[in-house]
Amino acid sequence: MTPQDIQSLLDRENLAEGEFKAAVREFDHFDIARLLHQLKPEEKIRIFQALESNEEREELLYETDKDSRNELIETLDKDYVAKLLADMEEDEATDILQEQDEEVQKEILEEMDPHEADALKNLVRFDEETAGGMMTPEFLQVSPDHTAAGILMRLKKDPNKDPISYFYVLDPQNRLMGFFKLRDLLRISPNARAKYFIRQETPKVLLDDSCDKVAEIMDDEQMSSLPVVDENNVMHGIVTFDDVIRTMEDLASDDIYTMVGTPKVDPFAQRPMKKICARLPWLVPTFIGGIASVFILRWFESSMTAFGTVIFFVPFVLGLAGNIGIQCATVIVRGLATGDIQMENIKGVVASEILVGCANGAIFAVLCGGLIALIAAPVLNASPTLGYAVGGGIIMAVSSTAILGSLIPFGFLRLNIDPAISAGPVVTVINDILGLISYLAVAMFAYSYL
């Protein structure tokens, strides 16, 4: 199915409503969800209402892009939205509810059953990128005195329940005592009580633990779900592998869009005018940097008239310095994200990155400076001093950007800003300005004193 297929269907003016609904239902609603952003708001609503069941509407609402989802929710009665969310998985309903402002959240929750509303309120209060925000409160809870036979009978009474991998044993205060797997249950005596065959060393995460930490523990322990507890070891739910993957994909997309200077939204789910308005502010740093560069060049203008050939190498020096600075920043950001950089090794990692950046700069300074010094007179009609100026400028520019790229992610962390932004347009512009000043200052010194 293509967007043209849907648009062709919508453009058929003489098509009866019954025929339209029948035609829509021939499409896979998951495919429709992925293409919905290309339709007008009124067309999205018409398609949504033409779906065969509430189950399909729930799945489309969750799978489509954020803008389309919010447009649909704005047009639907809040009691109907509440019904849809109540029938969804609680973690999925929470994701949708978290996207709404507080007033809309309140309206929807007021239309829900008090018990269901309380469950969602408990989940909404957590950041969606934490274990509490990703967890589902539904899990198989077992009393320490339950027998293996009783637990198996409980499973048989509910054959439609999703496959169970882990059973969690809680005391009367809902504190986590341990867990066991289905294969453990099948290997022991039917009369054995849960408290005697649980695995007491239970991998778990706290409500406020980040998605990265949850993923790291899952990977280390080779588990598809983890219990989520508070500081008192009271269990509130489980976070599953698929929830972590989905959140990490969203975070990765956010980082990539930030690194290239676009807003943290799906660029394929917006119309051109929205894209223009959304991206324009991110280009302001580049504009400011460009103006600053003009004033820097104006400041060195009188000196450059005496050694104008130096200006030919500005793009080369800035490109080299910028790339090395971003390499350093990327390594630091990645180390912070994976947890490889801790308090005890920060100094060593930063020193290593600065050393590597400066060493690479020195290598290129010798190669480029030496080559330019050799060809300056016969090819460029310039003094060999040009080679010293370019070589020294490369060392200074690269050293400054290597230091900046290695240190600035920690500055962003101190300001509670995602350090992934350090590879974005702001730092790139700072690298350019710093590199330009360093290069021209060294060139002026070289021509003045050598």
Q: Which two tokens stand for residue 319?
A: 């490109």
Mean pLDDT on 260-283: 60
Segment 389-429, tens digit of pLDDT: 888 888 888 888 888 888 888 887 787 776 665 556 667 78
Confidence of residue 338 (pLDDT cuts 50, 70, 90): low
As a whole number of angstroms, the distance between CA 110 and CA 172 comes to: 31
Residue with tokens 């007179």: 377
Task: Please give the backbone phi and psi of residue 206, each rounded to the nearest 5 degrees, phi first.
Answer: -90, 160
Comparing CA positions, the residue from 417, 130, 73 lying closest to residue 264 is 417
Give the lowest-confidence range in 41-45, 144-148, 341-345.
341-345
Residue 166 CB partners (closer than 8 Å, separation 6+): 139, 140, 179, 180, 181, 223, 225, 238
Angstrom CA distances, 363 to 318, 360, 384, 443, stand at: 16, 5, 19, 18
Comparing CA positions, the residue from 99, 165, 107, 167 lying closest to residue 133 is 99
User: What is the model's pLDDT at position 332?
Assistant: 83
Residue 239 CB partners (closer than 8 Å, separation 6+): 131, 134, 135, 136, 205, 214, 225, 226, 228
Answer whether residue 232 shows pLDDT above 70: yes
Length of the chain as a residue count: 450
Confidence (pTM): 0.56
> What is the torsional sign of CA 161, 162, 163, 164?
negative
User: What is the model's pLDDT at position 282?
Assistant: 65
Q: What is the CA 47 to chain-centroid distance, rounded?
A: 30
As a whole number of angstroms, the distance between CA 251 and CA 132 comes to: 16
Confidence of residue 253 (pLDDT cuts 50, 70, 90): low
Q: Name the average pLDDT for the chain.
A: 82
* 170 touches 235 (CB < 8 A): yes
Residue with tokens 């590597």: 356
Residue with tokens 């590199």: 435
Collapsing DSSP to helix, strand or coil, 356 comes out as helix
Residue with tokens 């009783």: 150
Give the lowest-confidence range in 15-24, 109-118, 282-291.
282-291
Answer whether residue 160 shows pLDDT above 70: no
User: What is the model's pLDDT at position 449?
Assistant: 67
Mean pLDDT on 81-107: 87
Answer whether residue 245 shows pLDDT above 80: yes
Segment 281-302, tens digit of pLDDT: 667 777 787 788 788 877 776 6
β-pairing, 166-170 with 176-181?
antiparallel
DSSP label of 28 = -
Radius of gyration of the chain (CA): 30
User: What is the model's pLDDT at position 168?
Assistant: 92
Angstrom CA distances, 278 to 59, 70, 345, stand at: 28, 17, 39
Comparing CA positions, the residue from 40, 75, 39, 69 lying closest to residue 57 is 69
Q: Which domains does the chain have, with CATH numbers?
A: 3-126 (1.25.60.10), 141-247 (3.10.580.10), 275-449 (1.10.357.20)
Comparing CA positions, the residue from 288, 327, 340, 315 lying closest to residue 390 is 315
Mean pLDDT on 19-38: 86
Segment 348-390, tens digit of pLDDT: 888 898 999 889 889 988 998 899 888 888 887 778 888 888 8
Question: Which residue type is seen at 373?
Answer: A
The H or E element containing residue 239 is strand 235-240
DSSP label of 130 = B
Segment 185-231, tens digit of pLDDT: 888 888 889 888 888 788 999 998 988 888 888 888 888 889 999 99
